[in-house]
Structure 1
Amino acid sequence: MRVRRVVTTRAGGRSKAPYESFNLGDHVGDDPAAVRANRERLATELGVDRLVWMEQVHGRTVTTVDGPLDEPAEATDALVTNRPGLALVALVADCVPVLLADAENGVVAAVHAGRVGARVGVVPAAVAAMVEAGAKAEQIEVLLGPSVCGECYEVPAAMRDDVEAHLPGSATKSRKGTPALDLRAGLWRQLAGLGVARIGVDPRCTVEDKTLFSHRRDGQTGRLAAVTWIDA
């Protein structure tokens, strides 16, 4: 089976400032008609019939889906499916989008892993749900998508230490030498500990790369999408 992964940028949509232009988030104050047009274009460009969205809440709940949903999956931060052609979407603007796939067994997952979700274990929960759906941990491939990098993610020392205690490997220093977090580094270590051997990292920092949305940089802004599916 062939697994597909796509990460969008800001370009090519209908949204106006401060969401310009390919905002895919419907919860950030953008014109609903523009978001709807952007989502329709995404589906058309990807060649998929339906996209599955989440009502993301910065938790560790995982929803396994076996068909299209009329509404976003309620109060969840990870989607899992073994149905070909069903495209799963995680929306981010600094958090880590995590796309996982076991191509041999035909199981994929899309995860929204912000500081809180990463700290409480949303990624291990997604891996467990994938295994339950037929995947094998040692056959899972992962892409850690663009997010705020450690040099830009300055946090209070107590917060850094708390996250490090739950997600070892995430503590770092910012460009200014202050306490910071590198969630992708912590998630990489966590996934390796789960037996996942093939982990790729998109090195782009959402704060530094102006082609990407960043809440930390801009405040009110849009959301990019990380999408994965199995070709039908």
Structure 2
Amino acid sequence: MHSSSWQWADHQGHAFLTCKLLNSWPHGFFTRNFWPQVPEDLTPALHPQAAVQRVKQVHGSRVLTPTEMAQMDAESTHPEADALMSDGPNQALWVCSADCNPVLIGDCVTGQAAAIHAGWRGTALKIVPQAVAKMQAQGSRLADLRVAIGPAIAGEVYQVATTVAAEVGRTIAPGDHNSDEALVEALQSLAHSPILPDDESGKARLDVRQVNVWQLTQLGLSLAQISVAPHCTFQEPERFFSYRRTGEKQVQWSGIVSRTAA
């Protein structure tokens, strides 16, 4: 989807991915070639004066703003959450991933932004719609949002248990179903389904990025407001870490910097 809207930029001799939908915001989806650099090292590639914001990701659905983070009596420097939403300009919001979806959102009018870590667990908890709802509560309109979903594991190679596919699919499935299997079969029968069949009994192939797209369009966003990176972390080992491929806990970072109102 919108594969032509993605292009590579350069920092320190390495390439990182950007999306034309987010051209109004300094942003980037960085590759494994930047490892082991962290957001404090990478933010200057986006905006030299931006304040770094990041959290401890736990595969949940919590969405925090920098103000909320500053007010928390956290035991560690980075409170537990899986999404960040800006509440002022020049805030660099970062998430990390190694197969899960890095989702960056910008508001064309307010200039505010969000960065979301959406694996299958977070997607089952509807973390992307929750982040959008929090942006709306801060004054955003759905029509003003632009969403880029970065490199993640592709559905064609992401085998999961039918129970997992059902847990995620339940967030987008119409109607009631008697069992997980019935729900998955119903979703698989739909056009452009994010749940694909698998040869192994009790398994399915799950396209988490497309589930996020479905969740966004069911909120009321148009497909023109959403772009999915044409890159798979599992199938491109030269560019991306993949936990499913190697079992190693290594990550690539994705970030976006908020700006002033238009």
* TM surpasses 0.5: yes
Shift of residue 66, structure 1, vs aligned partner: 4.1
- Residue in structure 2 matched with residue 17 of structure 1 by the alignment: none
- Residue in structure 2 matched with residue 75 of structure 1 by the alignment: 80
Q: What TM-score comes out, normalization by structure 1 length?
A: 0.82
Percentage identity across paired residues of the two chains? 30
- Residue in structure 2 matched with residue 125 of structure 1 by the alignment: 130
Which whole-Å CA distance do the structure 2 matches of 1:165 and 1:43 have between them?
37
Task: Note the 1:65-144 alignment, pairs <5 A.
Answer: 65-66=66-67, 72-144=77-149
1:173 to 191, 197, 205: 197
Q: Deviations over 1:164-202 (max 9, x none)?
A: 122445322359895111011111011011122200000
For the residue of structure 2 that corresponds to 1:151, the secondary structure is helix
Which whole-Å CA distance do the structure 1 matches of 2:122 and 2:255 have between them?
19
Once structures 1 and 2 are overlaid, which stretch shifts more, 96-105 or 175-184? Answer: 175-184
Which whole-Å CA distance do the structure 2 matches of 1:108 and 1:231 have between them?
8
Query: What is the RMSD of the two structures over their aligned residues, measured on CA atoms?
Result: 2.5
Shift of residue 54, structure 1, vs aligned partner: 1.0
Which residue identity is paired with 1:212? Answer: F
Contact 2:39-2:94 within 8 A present in 1 as well: no
1:8 to 27, 30, 37: 30
Which residue identity is paired with 1:228? Answer: I
Which whole-Å CA distance do the structure 1 matches of 2:217 and 2:136 have between them?
16
Which whole-Å CA distance do the structure 1 matches of 2:121 and 2:233 have between them?
18
Which whole-Å CA distance do the structure 1 matches of 2:116 and 2:57 have between them?
10
- Residue in structure 2 matched with residue 219 of structure 1 by the alignment: 247
Shift of residue 2, structure 1, vs aligned partner: 2.9
Q: Deviations over 1:20-58 (max 9, x none)?
A: xx13xxxxxxxxxxx5xx444312322334311111111
Which whole-Å CA distance do the structure 1 matches of 2:200 and 2:153 have between them?
15
Q: Deviations over 1:81-132 (max 9, x none)?
A: 1311111001100000110111211211000001110001111110011112
Q: What TM-score comes out, normalization by structure 2 length?
A: 0.73
CA distance 1:133–1:48, shift in 2 (3 Å):
farther
- Residue in structure 1 matched with residue 64 of structure 2 by the alignment: 63
- Does 2:233 correspond to 1:206? yes
Q: Which structure would you say has the larger Rg?
A: 2
Q: Deviations over 1:132-178 (max 9, x none)?
A: 22211121000011100001110122222232122445322359895
Which whole-Å CA distance do the structure 2 matches of 1:185 and 1:2 have between them?
24
Contact 1:151-1:173 within 8 A present in 2 as well: no
How many residues align? The count is: 210
Contact 1:118-1:167 within 8 A present in 2 as well: no
